[in-house]
Every structure is written in structure tokens, then in C-alpha cells.
Amino acid sequence: MTLSAPIAYSRPEPERGDGSGDPAHSTPPDAPMLTLVDEHGARLHDPDLDPWVADIGPDELADLYRDLVVVRRIDAEATALQRQGELALWPPLAGQEAAQIGSARALAASDFAFSSYREHAVAWVRGVEPADLLAVWRGSAPSGWNPYEHGMAVPQIIIGAQTLHATGYAMGLAWDGADAASIAYFGDGATSEGDVNEALVFAASFDAPVVFFCQNNQWAISEPVGLQSKRPLARRADGFGMPGVRVDGNDVLAVLAVTRQALDRARRGGGPTFIEAVTYRMGPHTTADDPTRYRGDDELAAWRRRDPLARVRALLETSGMDVASLDRDVQAAADRAAADLRHAITTLADPAPMTVFDHVYAEPNSHLERQKARYARYLAMFEDGAR
């Protein structure tokens, strides 16, 4: 059983309108977009990228498919939990599964990821328990997990700030002579932030082993990417003196290839790379957002036809794999993950009020002790300790 043979060398031109759907707001198609699996599930050939995914046969592709399905199910369950009042807020990832799974599966255990608030699939790949991912959105924890246990920092809410953290960490790796790299995840809107541009300057100047992974999901809340940039975002790398790569972010195989390539370059001392993964946010920015107020049904329908899950499934069908059986197994795994998540989050105990001071500082100090004493006196005013 093998994958279908590559049918053609292809670097298709990116389509117009990959911003708001309004040509006036779209970026021009002057940067090649790398693709290995097209939206119909056909395997395309690229002599530069193919060696980076030469180890991906049908079984490995099925594993990637399993990841895609499970994280979409977890995301849907989290959205439902928010609608049912179990979470205060949730930023859905639907549509961006391939960009996150492909890039995260390229990471080595020794690498370190710095994310924004939407990289739930990256956290899944790094072994973070979904309940730990949701605890902060329930208000049960100030953050989610021990970063050093998973090689992934907790989500950064400040737009783009994690790019500075990733760059500083990468500079440290270089000084230590470590065979590792960092990766910074951010969105198209973050490319307009000063933090991101400062990180790009430092990373380029010091040849830091960091990969800047921009998920261009077309919308910075309600602002289309065409208003963020008149050129493809990958071209911004030119001005910083680093390679810029534009990849089909709904193609998990192409994302895996370009991220492996960029990480290898970083670990060998080649410096940073900027990857623009062109994808689409199918849901709202967060559960507090109503995307129907700023985008049309036709645009959403067009991107649904490029669904990252459907194209992998279509490719698997051409490999001779029993996809119906695979679907049953994968769906069962996804349902178990969702059920486990629901049980874990709905039975999560509220933290004791005084634990809000835990983990703020590495060591006790008099300022913190005074705050704790005042807060304890305040809580003592309530018979139940304000629980």
C-alpha cells in the first residue's frame, strides 16, 4: 500500500482574494505558495520539499489525520462548554488544524514553542492535557501547565509578545551551543505589532535559531489581512534579511516539510526563517465574536472547500487504505477525548482564594507577604471565606 505517485511538479500561484474576499482588500499573488496536497487530495511533487516528508507513508499520514480530527473535536467540545457556561471564553482553532499539527509535528523534544492563545493543536502535540489547556479559560488557573514539562510556554495573550520570548530563548540556545531551536506562533494581525518587528530584527542580527510561524487566517478579528499588508506577509522577511516562505496552511504535509526545513536550518546555525501559513479561521475570533458581521457566506463556503481534513482523507483514499475503518477508529478516539475533556473540566475544583499568590515570584518577598496578609484579612470578613 503506497501513496499515489506525485502527479506533477507544482508551485501553484496563490489565489486572489485570500484576504477578506474583497479584491480591494486582497494581497497580490506575487509570492509562490508551496503545496504538496491540493484541495482535492492530489499529491503534488516538489523536489525541494519532498525529501523532508520522505518518511511519511500511509500509516504516518493516517496518524496526522487522526491528530487533525481529534483536535477539531476537542475544539468543538470546548466551544460547546463555553456556550453552556463552563468556560468564560474560548478562541476556536477550526480551519487551522493543519497549520498547527504540521508545524508542531516537525518539532523535536528539545525544541521549545511559544504560542499565542489559539494554538490548542500545538499544545495537544506537545502532550498538554486538554483540561490543562482549558483551566485558564474557566478561570481556575492563572496559566495552564509547567512549560518545561512540555517544551511549550503557556499561551501569551499580549499580541505578538511571545515572538520576543522565542527570540531571547533562541539566543540563549545559541550561546549554550544547544542542538535545538524555538518556534514562535502568531497571527497575521500580530505582524503589525512592534514586538514582532523587534523580535525579527534581533533574531536576524544575532542569527538566532528561531522559526517565526505566522498563521495568516485572513482576519485579525474583523480586519482583513489585505488591510494589514499590501504584500504577502512572507515578503516582510526580505526587509529583515531572513528567508520568507509562503505555504498552504491547510496542507499538513507541506507545512510539515517547510517547518522541518526551517528548523534544520536554525539548528545548523543558519538563523531564523519566517513562515507564512496561509489558512482560514472558520469560526469566530473568540466565542465573544460574531463573524457574520464582517464576512460573507460565500467566502466561508470557499474556504470550507479547502478543508484541511478533507484533503488528507481524500489522499488516504487513493493509497488503498480502508478509510471507512480508519474513520471509525479516529472518530471513536475523538469522542473519547471530548468526553474526557468534558468530565475533567466540569469536575475541576475551584482553587482556594489564597493560591492566587502562588507561582507569582520564584522566592517569597516582603511585598508579596503584605499583599497576602491584607487579602487574608479581607477574606476573613466573609463567613465562608468568600468561597
Which of these, 14, 60, 8, lies nearest to 248 by C-alpha position? Answer: 14
Q: Which three cell numbers stand for residue 142?
A: 492563572
Catalytic residue positions? 281, 285, 294
Residue ranges, the chain, pLDDT below 70: 1-30, 384-387
As a dihedral over the C-alpha atoms of residue 119, residue 124, residue 129, residue 132, rounded to 10 degrees, the angle is 0
Phi-psi region of 269 (alpha: psi -120 to 50; beta: other; left: phi over 0): left
pLDDT per position as a tens digit, 254-305: 999 999 999 999 999 999 999 999 999 999 999 999 999 999 999 999 999 9
Q: Does domain 50-347 have CATH number 3.40.50.970?
A: yes
Tens digit of each residue's pLDDT (9 = 90 or more) over 326-354: 999 999 999 999 999 999 999 998 889 99
Determine the pLDDT at residue 144. Answer: 83
Nearest to 65 by CA among 346, 373, 378, 310: 310
Percent of the chain with pLDDT over 70: 91
* φ and ψ at residue 185, rounded to 5 degrees: -100, 135
Q: Do strands 273-278 and 210-216 pair parallel, antiparallel, or not at all (unpaired)?
A: parallel
d(C-alpha 81, C-alpha 36), whole Å: 36
User: d(Cα 47, Cα 68) in Å, to the nearest integer?
Assistant: 26
Amino acid residing at 78: A
Amino acid in the structure at residue 208: A
